């Protein structure tokens, strides 16, 4: 297997019934998947455990660090059941939502979420079944809400509820999430994704539980998160633009604008960002995507996203391997376009004078040095991954070869733009680090004899977050 990817943006592939056997996992990796997502909204503990076992065996066989992301379900709001099957609602009908578990009909149904009723007020809209049915609150109490149907349709048992524009007093982690988190950490996943993040406090809560054992990905799918976007991004280890629920709670025309806003914030603050949901949706059942889907993936790459994600396409679709291959080909085509580099450079957010640390200052210097000297590669020596992250923030012209003695760090960096990670032994001094960097660059195909590389590291070696050394060397 070719160890080096000839692209910068990464691919996250969701696992499911279509992609859980050893042969398919290997084909997905060969096609270009860098990180594999376990969706804890589906499957049982045994399913997730077996997938992790197979991925770690594949990692050992190929020698390529594989990132694993556990995606927690988060708080799901749902209506109750109906006595006589689905009910049809028409615009203008009155419809009551109430606590309890009494079966519903065309006049109303239960909604067993007392925390939702508290913040309701007249004029607030509720969306049922991904917005297919729209209700507007006319009167409400802590136990019920009398609504008027704005957009009619069919409602049935346990359909989802969204309350756009309202910060709901929901716990960031449900009891199920806490059980799933414990399992994910026991399995040794590299990233944990928190669904429906609304405020920085949600991120702080899960980070305290994780305790550094995995990186935390904040999924932005609630409009309320936009009010404190930079705070959430700064506290997160990575961010996902989860366009599914975001597109339900907001008008469709606003989602592309928010996507760009989130990506810009992440790039400015140096946090990896994943663009997700319906990237190649038609490939669930077709061997090729629509032109619009291909353009959608391309847009995320032109914006400088770290990764793009496949959901049902790789989890339950008929063409999981073809979906990964197509996404990889789209990324390669975009990154070969001279306009791509122009746009990446034009959208680069320079660090503000006086507001950076030594690592960021060195990375800014590195970016300029690489451009002036036409360096073949940037080699980062890192124990925690911090040096590689600050290098990736700059979106340099040369590829980033990340050297680390820590397998956990290598796996986590599989998500990060432009970073190819190789495990190496510990080094004791600058001379040895430089020698190892040059040998690795040559061996991994990043540089040939006589070419120049830039090395970034921190001293003393092995100290997380200590990036303070930039060295220019000839291979």
Q: Out of 27, 76, 78, 442, which one is annotated catalytic?
A: 78
- The answer to whether 5 is a known catalytic residue is no
Pairing of strands 377-381, 400-404: parallel
- The answer to whether 219 is a known catalytic residue is yes
Q: Out of 277, 382, 387, 434, which one is annotated catalytic?
A: 277
155 to 90, 219, 279: CA distances (angstroms): 11, 27, 28
**Other CB atoms within 10 Å distance of the CB of residue 449:** 8
Q: How many residues does the chain have?
A: 475
- The answer to whether 277 is a known catalytic residue is yes
How big is the CA angle at 247 (ends 243 and 252), to the nearest 5 degrees?
Answer: 120
Q: Out of 37, 207, 411, 412, which one is annotated catalytic?
A: 37
Instruction: Give the separation between CA 170 and CA 173, rounded to whole angstroms.
Output: 8
Instruction: Give the separation between CA 375 and CA 391, rounded to whole angstroms.
Output: 14
Count how many Cα atoms sit within 13 Å of the Cα of residue 381 in the half-sphere of its side chain.
Answer: 33
Q: Out of 207, 219, 222, 243, which one is annotated catalytic?
A: 219
* Cα 460 versus chain centre, distance: 32
- The answer to whether 76 is a known catalytic residue is no
Lateral strand order in the sheet of 400-404: 419-423, 400-404, 377-381, 452-458, 467-474
Instruction: Give yes or no for a cis peptide into 460 (omega within 30° of 0).
Output: yes
> Could you give the residue ranges of the DSSP H alpha helices within 218-337?
229-235, 243-249, 255-269, 291-302, 312-315, 320-335
- Catalytic machinery residues: 37, 78, 219, 277
């Amino acid at each position: 297997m070719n160890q080096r990817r000839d692209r910068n943006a990464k691919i996250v592939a969701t696992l499911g019934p279509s992609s859980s056997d050893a042969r398919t996992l290997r084909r997905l990796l060969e096609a270009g998947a860098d990180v594999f997502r376990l969706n804890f909204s589906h499957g049982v503990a045994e399913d997730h455990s077996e997938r992790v076992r197979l991925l770690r065996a594949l990692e050992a066989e190929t020698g390529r660090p594989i990132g694993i992301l556990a995606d927690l379900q988060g708080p799901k709001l749902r209506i109750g059941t109906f006595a006589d099957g689905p009910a049809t609602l028409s615009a203008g009908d009155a419809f009551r939502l109430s606590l309890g578990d009494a079966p519903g009909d065309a006049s109303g149904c239960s909604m067993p979420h007392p925390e939702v009723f508290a913040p309701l007020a007249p004029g607030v809209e509720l969306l049922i079944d991904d917005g297919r049915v729209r209700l507007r609150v006319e009167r409400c109490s802590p136990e019920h809400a009398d609504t008027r149907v704005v957009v009619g349709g069919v409602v049935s048992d346990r359909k989802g509820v969204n309350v756009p524009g309202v910060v709901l007093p929901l716990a960031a982690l449900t009891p199920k999430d806490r059980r799933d988190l414990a399992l994910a950490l026991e399995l040794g996943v590299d990233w944990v994704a928190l669904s429906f993040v609304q405020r920085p406090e949600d991120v702080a809560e899960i980070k305290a539980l994780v305790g550094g054992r995995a990186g935390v990905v904040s999924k932005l799918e609630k409009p309320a998160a936009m009010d404190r976007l930079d705070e959430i991004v700064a506290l997160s280890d990575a961010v996902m633009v989860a366009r599914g629920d975001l597109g339900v709670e907001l008008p469709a025309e606003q989602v592309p604008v928010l996507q760009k806003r989130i990506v810009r914030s992440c790039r400015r603050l140096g946090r990896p960002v994943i663009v997700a949901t319906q990237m190649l949706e038609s490939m669930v059942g077709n061997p090729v995507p629509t032109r619009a889907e291909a353009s959608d993936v391309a847009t995320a790459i032109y914006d400088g996203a770290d990764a793009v994600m496949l959901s049902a396409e790789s989890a339950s679709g008929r063409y999981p391997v073809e979906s990964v291959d197509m996404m990889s080909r789209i990324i390669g085509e975009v990154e070969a376009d001279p306009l791509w580099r122009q746009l990446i450079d034009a959208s680069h957010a320079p660090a503000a004078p006086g507001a950076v640390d030594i690592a960021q200052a060195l990375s800014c210097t590195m970016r300029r040095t690489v451009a002036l000297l036409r360096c073949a590669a940037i080699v980062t020596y890192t124990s925690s991954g911090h040096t590689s992250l600050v290098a990736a923030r700059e979106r340099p012209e040369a590829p980033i070869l990340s050297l680390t003695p820590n397998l956990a760090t290598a796996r986590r960096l599989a998500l990060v733009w432009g970073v190819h990670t190789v495990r190496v032994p510990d080094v004791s001094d600058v001379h040895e680090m430089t020698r190892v960097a040059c040998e690795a660059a040559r061996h991994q195909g990043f540089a040939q004899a006589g070419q120049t590389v830039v090395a970034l590291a921190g001293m003393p070696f092995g100290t997380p977050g200590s990036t303070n050394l930039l060295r220019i060397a000839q291979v």
